[in-house]
Structure formats: C-alpha cells, structure tokens
Structure 1
Amino acid sequence: MSTRVYQLPVLQAKGASFGVNKIICIGRNYAEHAREMGHDPEREPPFFFFKPQSALAQNHRDFIYPHFSQQVEHELELVIAIGKSGAQIAAADAADYVFGVAVGLDMTCRDRQKEAKQLGRPWELAKGFDGSAPCTAILPITFSELSQFGDLVLTRNGKEVQRGNWRSMVWSVPELIVEVSRYIKLDAGDLIFTGTPAGVGPVQPGDELVARLEGFPEELRLRVVAAQA
C-alpha cells in the first residue's frame, strides 16, 4: 500500500498533486441512519447533492460554528477520491475509478435544513456553507485495498458518538460510482462523501472531534469554535 498522502484542497505531496473538483455527497446510505432520520431504510436509488470547494477544510483546522444556525450536527463519512473521468460507467469498470480514500465530516445545519424542507426550498445552505466538509489527506489505494480498513469511528470530547462499517452502506462504492455517473460526468479530482452511519448529533463551541477509519494512517481532528461577533 502506498504511504503517499495528498493535502486538501489542492493535494500535493512528493511532487504529485490532486486538484479537487466536485464534492458529491450521498444521502441516507446506511439503513440505521435512515431510520434515525425518520425514513424508510429500504434500498432505493441513491440521491446526492453537492458542496462547493469552499466547504473543504483541511485537517487540524478549527470548525467555525455558523452564526446563522442553532443546531449544527456531525456526520461521519468515508470519502472516495476519483482518479479519472467517465460517464455512464459500467459496473465492471467502476472500481477502476477509485484513486484513493479519506475520512471526512459532512457538517450540517439541521435547523436550517428542516426549515428549508418545510418551506419546500433547496437546503444547500444547510450543507454547503464554508468549512462544512472537513477532510483528512487522501491515501491513494485501489478499491480492493479498502478491505484492510475497519469501522468508521467519531468521538466528541473523548466519547464515542458514531461508529459504523463502510461495508454496511446500502450502496457500495462501485455502485455509487455507477449511479452518480448516470447523471453527471465524473472527473479526476472529484470527491464522493459516501454517507453517514447512525449516531449523528449536535456539536457546540468548545467540542473536540476526532474522526478515524480503523487502520487508516491519519485521524481527522478539529475543534469547534464560535464565530467572531
């Protein structure tokens, strides 16, 4: 397995680079999370949304609690980096599009999301605000090498609050690549946040979050801080 890592948002190390392009986020891809959010966990076509590049935040950076929300929640995710371009990708070829993996958080303004849903409006603001996608460096591996890693785990102030195994995703990584590419062209540099397991919950200024993938060489660490007045 390669030990080279790539830093966000333009990932460079040892003469190599990985420029981040689109950030694609998958919704309700773990059955238990679907249940905790009040949805039917039956397998249904995956849906996805986008975050802007300004949502990316490198590891060990403070997370600024957005001033327009009173309920920000953490969502722990396996992140897949795409290594080449393709559309209408065949299932047999999907794994070849994996460049590497990372650990990320989809920080969500749950109150603003609920409000937008009630009004029948888009909820990009709840998901795509600046710094809402903290992420580790990318470890370049093949899809088959992903099998060496275990559970995704998140602690808040030293207490475990989320744990789930990426093998329990409703839609697997290759299936997600196939499904997303049915609607949009995937490009080298795209990141896919693959969904969150159960256990999403609130954060407050002063909290310390540590996200990890068992066996992965880097933890995602951040401190939640209040926005400046």
Structure 2
Amino acid sequence: MTLLFSLTASTVPVVGSDRLFPVRRVYCVGRNYLDHVREMREGDERDKPFFFQKPPDAVVGDGARVPYPPRTADFEFEGELVVAVGAEGVDVPVERALELVFGYAAGIDLTRRDRQRDCRERQVAWEAGKSFDASAPCGPITPAAAAGDVGAAELRLTVDGAVRQHTRIAHMIWNVAEILAHLSMDYRLMPGDLVYTGTPAGVAALRPGNEVRVDIDGLTPLTVTIAERKNHATH
C-alpha cells in the first residue's frame, strides 16, 4: 500500500550540533505562575497542574514571521520555558522525571484570548483560543547538560525592545520534574514531545509589526515577528 501524501514533521534545531529535534506532540501547562493566576482572575491558586495540547505543526522556529491569526481581536503573547522530552516515560516519579529531559528552549504560547474566553464561557475545549497555525514558536533546544541550572534562570519577554514579562523559573508553582511526573500519569511521554511550562504575569495583546523576543538565562533567545494576516509563517 502507498501513502496518499507525505507529511513533513516540524523540527527544532539543537544548539551545538547539526541535529534536528522532530516534534511529536506539544503539551502546555495552564496557570503555573501565581502572579498570572491572579492576573487572569481565574482558577484556584492551589489547583493541580492541568494540560492542553497544540498540534505539532503549530511549532515555528526562531526568526519566523507569524501571521496575525483570523477571527480574533485580542492576540496575546505568553513567554515560557519549553522542555524537550528525550526518553519514554509513564507514571514517572518526581525523583526520576528529569531523566526524561533532552533539553530546554525559550518558547511563546500565542493565544487568541477572546476566543479562549468564549470557549470558557461556553464550557467547551480551548482549541479555538490556543491550537491554531504558528501558535507555538520555539527557539533552538539546548541539551540539558549544557543548559546550566534552568530552575535558577530568569525569563524576559520583550515586545519591540520593551520588557513585558520578567520572572524567575523558580517561581513556577509546579517545577519541571513535577510537571513531567503529573503529565506522565495521563500520557505516555515520548522522545519528540515538547512541554510548554506556563507563563508569568504581563500577558498583553500584539499587533502586526511587533517583534517579540524571549530570553532565558543559559538558552538561545527566540525572536519572532508578527506579520499581516495575508502572510504565512516561515520556519
């Protein structure tokens, strides 16, 4: 039997080599910084982590031109630490969860906030607000051994050079090991999975022409430009 057509997997470059990380799944953690929970005025501050997904082809790389998406008037940025999974894991204890980590990257969870709010009000899934084309920019992946102490790193997101988000990764409610352990209770984690670990306070709307940059200590920065709707994202 032959395939009707072929599909090209999204890939992310690996720092310090010519290797590419093929993307299998994209998981995102909701409400993982206390200041963002309070900013959005939703959820219990003691909630267990919860997850949603984006399609693998939502991943675009550093330098991408991300088209302003259709059917929204409130297109927002969320700067995040991204964890790249390099080993299989199911029901992994917290103490061993970091063994699954291949590396780390800077990322942005782009969100159609008005569509997300509408989904929440109608009590339906968040896909319309979260899972659209080019909604998961991801910078080059730094292998874990070369990334230093990610837990002590600072994250900064700038829009046109102005700082809009600034936090320490240590301020996450659930740290990387805890996130992976919880996620592995519901899903079989596999090499190729990316996990976006949540965003701090400061999220706000974007417009065409904005340049968005995420810096995380020890990792390669990620920069994308918001283009007009008629343009296409490029990898």
CA-CA distance at 1:212 after TM superposition: 0.8
Query: Residues 139 and 112 (structure 1 numbering): CA distance in 2 closer, same or farther, change over 3 Å?
Result: same
Amino acid at match of 2:143: P
Return 17-26 or 148-157, whichever deviates more. Answer: 148-157
| Distance in 1 (alpha carbons) for counterparts of 2:18 and 2:170 | 33
How many angstroms apart in 1 are the aligned matches of 2:124 and 2:77? Answer: 22
Q: Which runs of 5+ in 2 are unaligned?
A: 1-8
Tell me the C-alpha RMSD between the 2 structures: 2.0
Partner residue of 1:110? 113
Pairwise CA distance, 1:10: 2.2
Where does 1:62-211 land on structure 2 (aligned, <5 Å)? 62-142=65-145, 145-147=148-150, 150-211=153-214
Deviations 1:12-32 (A, max 9, x none): 564534221110000000000
The Cα of 1:215 is off from its aligned counterpart by 3.2
Match for residue 18 of structure 1 among 21, 26, 49? 21
Q: Which residue of 2 aligns with 1:222?
A: 224
Q: How far off its partner does 1:9 sit?
A: 2.7
Are the counterparts in 2 of residues 148 and 215 from structure 1 also a CA contact under 8 Å?
no
Distance 1:165 1:24 in 2: 21
Q: Which residue of 1 aligns with 2:10?
A: 9
SS of the equivalent of 2:103 reads strand
Q: Are 2:77 and 2:205, in contact at CA under 8 Å, matched by a contact in 1?
A: yes
Report SS of the residue matched to 2:149. helix
Distance change >3 Å, CA 185–CA 143, structure 1 → 2:
farther
Instruction: Work out the percentage of aligned pairs sharing the same amino acid.
Output: 36
TM-score normalised by L of structure 2? 0.88
CA distance in 1, matches of 2:159, 2:28: 23
Cα displacement (A) at 1:219 = 1.4
Contact 1:155 1:162 in 2 (8 A): yes
- Please tell me whether the aligned partners of residues 161 and 200 of structure 1 are also in contact (alpha carbons under 8 angstroms): yes
